[in-house]
Each structure stands twice: as C-alpha cells, then as structure tokens.
Amino acid sequence: MELFDFVDAIFSPTLWKSISDSDKKKHFFMTQRFLSMKMPKETQYFNQIGVNPVAAMNTWHLILCRQFKGKPQWIFDYNKVVKRNTEKKKKVDISHKAIIAYKQDYKLSTKDFDFLMEMFPDEVIPELQVYDEYVG
C-alpha cells in the first residue's frame, strides 16, 4: 500500500480494517511527520524510542476518526508552501567583487552566504547592491 492511500485509510473506519500491521509500521514515520504540523504535542508522545508503531497508528486512527469526518486538507498543505518558496527566486546582477567584499566584511563562508541569499534575499540584495556601487 502506498503512503497516500494509507493516509486516506486512517480517516476511514472501513478501509482501516483492511490495513496490515506491516503497512502500519512502514508508514508510521511519514504519518507522524504529516500529523506533527497541526498536532506537535500529540505526535511527540509517539516519538519515544521503543514505541509500538502498530499500536500508535491504531491510536491515531481512533483519534482522527473522532475528530474529523474525512481527510482534512491541512495534511497535504505543506507541499504548497514548498512550491511557493521555490517560485520566489530572484535574479539580480551583482559583481563577483561585491560578493567577495560582502563575504569578507561579514566573515561569511560561501555556504553561509548561500544560506543568507536563500532565506533572506530581501535583506541581503539591497546591501549587495550598495557594495556593488562602491566596489564597481
């Protein structure tokens, strides 16, 4: 059974009866990841070493069937956030000399600089443009 079919079955009492224990063990980790977005405290209880994944999945099934009539949309919403972040990349022409000067002034490695550009482009790009004007 595939992961998405398994997630559908968690919210369906009739489908859940046909799920094998091996499938419950197999999909325990990813199901925990999906559920941790909205229920972090509850998922932490099942993150203990030595927890029985089959019993944990049966407990999740009982909890989720009581709380929701069907599969809630938020389970797969995290994919949309990832797509939005990848679409926002900006192209800016900044000289190599300006980037080197910026990295030297802030004592940044290339890895640190790439991280800043990825996470905070709106703050870093204006600074780089100022560096580009001076270093030119």
Most confident of 34-38, 43-47, 87-91, 122-126: 122-126
What's the token pair of residue 103?
């990295």
Spatial neighbors of 128 by CB under 8 A, at least 6 apart, are 92, 94, 98, 99, 102
What's the token pair of residue 36?
């941790």
pLDDT at 111: 93
> What pLDDT band is residue 50 in, cutting at 50, 70 and 90?
confident
Provide the residue ranges of all domains of the chain, joining segments of one domain with +: 3-79, 89-135
Yes or no: say if 37 and 74 are a contact pair by the CB < 8 Å rule. yes
Under DSSP, is residue 20 helix (H, G, I), strand (E, B) or coil? Answer: coil
What gap in Å lies between CA 111 and CA 36, rounded to an integer? 29
Angle at 109 between CA 114 and CA 83, to 5 degrees: 15
What gap in Å lies between CA 124 and CA 3, rounded to an integer? 39
What gap in Å lies between CA 89 and CA 73, rounded to an integer? 27
This prediction's pTM:
0.55
pLDDT surpasses 60 at 89: no
